[in-house]
Amino acid sequence: MASILITGCAGFIGSHLTERLLLEGHRVIGLDNFDPFYARGHKQRNLTGFRHHPFFTFVEADLRHGFETLLDSGSPEPIEVVVHLAAKAGVGPSVKEPIAYLENNIIGTTRLLQWMRQRKIQKLFFASSSSVYGNTRQQPFQEDMNVLAHGISPYAVSKLTGEQLTATYHHLYGLDVLNARFFTVYGPRQRPDLAIHKFARLMQAGQPVPVFGDGTTARDYTYVDDTVDGIVRSIAYLLQHTHVCEVVNLGNNRPVPLLALIQAVGEALGCQPELEFLPMQAGDVNVTYADISKAHRLLGYAPKTTLAQGLAEFVQWLETEPKLYEPASPVG
C-alpha cells in the first residue's frame, strides 16, 4: 500500500478519490484550502465519511503560501505519489477573475512542484481539463493534438500551463508525471455551480433552466466513479513505471447535447423542465468529446456508467442534501 498526498481532497472528485484509496488500504494525506468559490459547509460534508479514518491525515492549507511546513509536520511517513486536484475551477468565472485563476492554478502548482523536488517525491498525477482543447474542430479529441492555439478561457490556459510545468519538471528533474484531462465529471457531491447540479436545483424549485445558445452544445459527461477509477489506475501505473510523462483523456467518449441532458435530468427527477434560452457565455466551448483509446491502452480505463444510471445516483444523493448551497462569487 502507498502513502498518497491528495490536494483538493475535500472537493467533489477529491473526496470520492480519498474514500476509494482508504478503502483499498492506502494512507492518504489530504490538503484543502476551502476556497470560497462555494460554501465551506459543502466541502466539510464531503469530508465526513473519512475525516477520522486512522489512515487519513487532513491539512488545511493554501498551495500559494504556507503549505510546506504544515504538510511536512502532517505526514506520518514519506509520500510516494502526489495527486494534484486542487485548483480554482470554472471556465466562466475565470473570464471575470483571470488573475485569481492564474495565481491559484499556476503559482500554486509551481510551488507544489518545487516542494516535491525538495522532498524527492518523484510521482505526480495532475488533473488537467478538456477545456484545453477549446473549440478545435477535430473530433474526438486526441491527446497529441496541437492545443496551443485553442485556449479560449483563462481556466483553460492555467490547466495547459500546468501540463507544461509538469513536463518541464520531468525534463529537468526526472519527475514521473501523468497529466489527465477530465471531461465534465458529475455525480453525488458535484459542485453546485456545474450544469447538472444547477439544473436539478432549478427544476426542484420550479424555476426555468437557462439554455446558453441554441441547446446543441454537447459535453462528454463522465460519472465520478469512472473518473476516480481512472485516477486509481493512473496511480498504479506511476508506481509501476519510471521515465513517465504522459497525457491521457479521462472522459466517457459519448457527447450529450445540452437539450438532451436537460431532458434526462428532468426524467431522473420526474418533472418536465421549463427552458429559458440565453446567449452563449464567454469562454464556453461548443463540444467536448474524448478519445479514450490511449487511457484504455495504458491504464485499462473503461468507463461503465450510463448517463441514466449516473443521474439516478446523483438525484438519490441530491434528495438527502440541504438546499442551501449556491456558488459564491470568485475571489482573488
Please list the active-site residues: 155
| Strand 27-32 to 56-60 pairing | parallel
Q: 127: which strand partners? A: 180
- Dump the DSSP string for 204-254: HTT-PEEEESSS--EE--EEHHHHHHHHHHHHHHHHH-SS-EEEEEES-S-
Cβ–Cβ < 8 Å for 313, 270: no
Task: Please list, in sequence order, all residues whose beta carbon lies within 8 angstroms of the beta carbon of residue 145, skipping any fewer than 6 positions away.
Answer: 133, 136, 138
Cell of 73: 509536520
Phi, psi of 149 (to 5 degrees): -95, 5
Length of the chain: 332
Q: For residue 322, count other CB atoms closer than 10 A to its CB.
A: 9
The three-state secondary structure class of 56 is strand
Task: Please list, in sequence order, all residues whose beta carbon lies within 8 angstroms of the beta carbon of residue 153, skipping any fewer than 6 positions away.
Answer: 91, 92, 94, 95, 131, 282, 283
The three-state secondary structure class of 275 is strand
Task: Find where cell 443521474 sits.
Answer: 311
